[in-house]
Chain A
C-alpha cells in the first residue's frame, strides 16, 4: 500500500471513529478553508475565483501544509466566478461584483417567488423553476419568463411546436447564455473532479459529496426571502407547509444522487432559519424539525452521514437535534455553546467545532490554544468529536490557524 493510500485510510478511519462515537487514535482536525488558502499566500479572492489552476495549486499547498483529516474541494462553491458572470447571477455579490476583490461572496436577500406564486410552484415545481425562478435569479435567462408552460407539451409533436417560442430574437441571447453556462459548468466540474483525484492521491478523504437543505431553509433562502417566509408563517401557513413537503423529496433525491455520483457518503447540510430566536418553539416543531428529521433519517437509510452545520446559535434546539439514530450524524456548531451540546449529545451524535470566529480573526495563537485545550478536554475526552473552527475560516489569521493545527497534533494525540 502506498503512503497516500495508508494516509487516506488512517484519516478516514479517524473520522469514521468519531462519527461512530468512538475515540479515534487522536483528535481529528478539519477545516472549511473558504478563501483562506488564497489570502494565506497573498492572492485575492478574485484571483482564485477566475484562475482555476491557481486555485488548485494554492489549495493543494494548503492541504499539504496543514494536513487536515479531510480535504475540502474548493471548486463547487468557490470556482464559479465565470459561471456567475455568464448568468448575471442575482443571489450573490462576489469579488469584483458588488463586494471588494478580496472578499468572500455574500448572499443577497431576494423574493424570487412572490406570495401569490405558491400554487404555481406546488402544481409544477419544474415549470416554476424554468419559467419564473431562472429568469429572475439569472438575468441572462430573463426571456424564459415568456415561454409557455413546460407541461403543455403532451401528445404527438406538440412539445416541439412550442419550441417556436425559443426562436424569437430576444431568446437568442438567452440560448447563447444557456450554452455558455453549460460550458462554464463543465469546466468547474472538470476541475472539481481533478481536484478530488488529487486529494485522493495525497491521502485526503473528501469532506462531503454533496449538499442538502432543510425544506424551510430552501423555501426561505431561495424562494421567499427571510422576511417573506417569516410573514408567510402568519399569512399562509398551509402554503408554507405544503411547499416544505413538496421540497423534502427533492432535497433527499438530489442529495442521494449527488452522494452516488461522487462516491462520497457525507452530505453537507447548513442550517439557516431554525436557529435560536428565528422561530418560536412551536414554529420550529411544526415547520422545521419534522422535515429536518426526515431528511437526516432518509440520508442515514442510504448509508450517508449528514454533516449538519448549525449556523448561529442553536442552544434551544439541541434536545430536538439529538433525536436521531446514534453515531450517524455530525453536528458542527458555530456559536452554540458546544460544551453544553456535548453534555446533551453525549453517546448520541458526533460534534464538531467550534473555535470562535472572533478568536481566529482577531485573537492571538495563545487564545486559540486555550480554547482548543478546553475543546479537547471537554469534548474529545470520550471520543465522538472532530476539532474544527466555527465555520468557514474566512478572515482567520494564518498564525491562528497554524496554532490550532499545531496544538491539536500535540495535545490531541
Chain B
C-alpha cells in the first residue's frame, strides 16, 4: 500500500512525498492509512540512521515532512478521532534539564520515540527537577529521558534521579540520559540506567526495556 509514498519519504524526496500525500487524500484514502505510510517510512529512516546511511540532516527533514503531512491530514480526520490509534508500547517522559536550553537532540528523540510506538510527554527545555517529579506522578512513565549538552547538566540530572530515589520509585522507572558531554562517568554519577550520545541509540535501549 502506497509504496511510492513510503519510498518518497524514506528517500528524502520531499516534493514528491507531499504531492503523493495530497493525491492519496484527494482520492479518498483514509487519513489514518496515509499517516501509517509515514510511520512506516520513518521506521525505514531510523533504520538507515542506525546503519550510518543517514545522518542528522535526514532526521531533521523527516521531522519536517511529518509535520507538513500532519497539517494536511488533521483537518480530514473525523471529529473525535485523535489521529493516533496506534497501540502504545510504553510511556516516555522527556526534557532538557534545568539550566540547559538545547533542544535539537531532544526533539529528535521525541520524534523517534513517537514513531517507535511510545507515548511521549515532552516537557521542553530548562526543566526543573520538581517538574520531572510532578510529571512522573501524573504521567507514570516507564522511562524518563533527560537531555543536556552542557556540563552543568550532570548536576541537574543527578538531582532528578536522587529525587526519584527519595520518592521510592527509582526501581519503577528506567532513566536514560543523552547529550554531547555524557559518558560512562556521567552515567554513573547521575545514577542513570543508560547513557547515549545519539537519539537512535536511546530508542534501542527504550525498546529493549519495554520488551522485557
Chain A contact residues, CB within 8 Å of chain B: 93, 98-100, 103-104, 106, 108-109, 226-227, 230-231, 233-235, 277-280, 283, 311-313, 334-335, 356-363, 367, 390, 394-396
Contact = CB atoms under 8 A, between A and B. Distances in A.
B151 A357 contact: yes
Interface in B49-67: 54-58, 60-61, 64
Contact of A230 (B57, B101, B155): B57
Nearest to A235: B14
Nearest to B181: A357
Contacts of B60: 226-227, 230-231
Contacts of B57: 230-231, 233-234, 278-280, 283
Contacts of A311: 180
B61 A234 contact: yes
Contact of A358 (B12, B54, B154, B198): B154
Chain A CB within 10 A, most for which of B56, B60, B100, B189: B56
Interface in B106-161: 150-152, 154-155
Given A93-B101, A394-B151, 20 more contacts: A109-B104, A230-B56, A230-B60, A231-B57, A277-B55, A277-B56, A279-B56, A280-B55, A280-B57, A283-B55, A311-B180, A312-B180, A334-B180, A335-B180, A356-B185, A358-B151, A358-B154, A362-B154, A367-B185, A395-B155
Contacts of A277: 55-56, 198
B178 to A, nearest CB: 13
Contacts of A396: 151
Contact of A394 (B101, B150, B197): B150
A193 B151 CA distance: 31
A359 B185 contact: yes
Nearest to B104: A226
Contact of A106 (B54, B58, B100, B186): B100
Chain A CB within 10 A, most for which of B12, B99, B155, B184: B99
Nearest to A233: B57
Contact of A279 (B55, B64, B151, B152): B55
A363 B185 contact: yes
6 shortest A-B CB distances, which residue pairs? A358-B185, A230-B57, A230-B60, A358-B186, A395-B151, A357-B181
B182 interface: yes
B40 interface: no
B183 interface: yes
B75 to A, nearest CB: 24
A390 B103 CA distance: 22
A394 B152 contact: yes
Contacts of B56: 230, 277-279
Contacts of A334: 180
Nearest to B187: A358
Contacts of B102: 106
Given A227-B60, A358-B154, A313 B197 contact: yes
Given A230-B56, A230-B61, A361 B99 contact: no
A356 B189 CA distance: 14
A361 B55 contact: no
Contacts of B100: 106
Given A227-B60, A231-B60, A279-B56, A361 B154 contact: yes
B101 A231 contact: no
B104 A358 contact: no
B101 A227 contact: no
Nearest to B126: A99
11 contacts: A106-B150, A226-B104, A231-B61, A231-B64, A356-B183, A356-B185, A358-B184, A358-B185, A362-B185, A395-B152, A395-B154
A409 to B, nearest CB: 24
A98 B61 CA distance: 29
Contacts of A100: 99
Nearest to B102: A106
Contacts of A357: 151, 181
B12 A362 contact: no
B135 to A, nearest CB: 22
Given A99-B99, A277-B56, A335 B181 contact: yes
